[in-house]
Amino acid sequence: MREERANGHDPAVNVQNVSKSFDARHVLENVSFEVYSGEAFCLLGRSGIGKSVTLKLLIGLVKPDSGRITVDGHSIGDADAATLAEVRKKVGFLFQDGALFDSISVADNVAFPLKRHTKKSGKEIREIVQEKLHEVELADEGKKMPSELSGGMRKRVGLARALVLDPPILLVDEPSSGLDRITAAEIYDLLLRLKQKRHVAQVVVTHDVIGARELATRFAVLDGGKIAAAGNLNELAHDRNALVRDLATVAEV
């Protein structure tokens, strides 16, 4: 089911009053947020509190117990398989470790969504793959195997693959995970340039507020399954919640 947009300013991602439990464990409780084209929305919080579950909810890998999720105007919770397949073509997903196929080359990893979801010719696919590798500063690495790459390079290849269908929405799971500070900063810089150049709506989940401070348009802090606070860093720095204030203060160091 697709929602009609009243104007060009409707959110690309809209999460309203969503709750999710696994057995007796409440992971998310009444969570709401919106993300618009051209902004990066960072969901902050400690490990194991539901940030990655939130991303899975956005692409229909997990169903909410209650509440409503719309992505690119489509209601996700009640979507059938065909609708979910179409929505997922419009959502790029950068996994923590890049999630590359180890048995095929860098170029073939990036080409995979094009071969699976389009009818483009081999020549067109090669040109698009080269364009995306150039965009993530790996133009000369297409023939390498994933085992030959550093952690940061694997993350870049994963980003190139996430962008290869030119999705209007990008979901990013812990972009700095497993990386040193310098390499993590380079990944965040790539995401920032992507936001500025492509006007993509980004949902970034991370515990790394220092890395995310230049990227994020808005932040939300997830604590105890709930959104403890949301806003820019200045607003969070003056929040009543001590955890929220501490996170904002760390970002200012």
Handedness of CA 85, 65, 8, 234 (dihedral sign): negative
Q: What are the extents of the domains in the chain?
A: 1-90+169-253, 102-166
CB 199 within 8 A of CB 120: no
Q: What DSSP letter does each residue of 56-97 carry, written as one string?
A: HHHTTSS--SEEEEEETTEESTT--HHHHHHHHHTEEEE-TT
**What is the C-alpha separation between 7 and 66, in angstroms, rounded?**
27
Residues of the chain with confidence (pLDDT) below 70 = 1-8, 249-253
What is the strand order of the sheet 66-71 is part of? 25-35, 13-22, 66-71, 74-75
- What pLDDT, on a 0 to 100 scale, did the predictor assign at position 242? 77
Per-residue exposure over 92-109, b if at least 16 CB sit within 10 Å of its own CB, e if not? bbbbbebebeeeebbbbb
122 CB neighbour count, 10 Å cutoff: 9
- Topology given in CATH for the domain delimited by 1-90+169-253: Rossmann fold (3.40.50)
**Which residues sit opposite 44 in a β-bridge?**
206, 221
Q: Where are the alpha helices (DSSP H) in 118-180?
A: 122-135, 151-163
Beta bridge partners of 71: 13, 74
Could you tell me if 186 and 128 are in contact, meaning their C-beta atoms sit under 8 angstroms apart? Answer: no
Please state, in angstroms and as integers, the Cα–Cα distance from residue 120 to each residue in 78, 134, 157, 165, 166, following that order: 31, 20, 21, 11, 14
What pairs with residue 31 in β-bridges?
Answer: 18
What is the model's pLDDT at position 46?
78
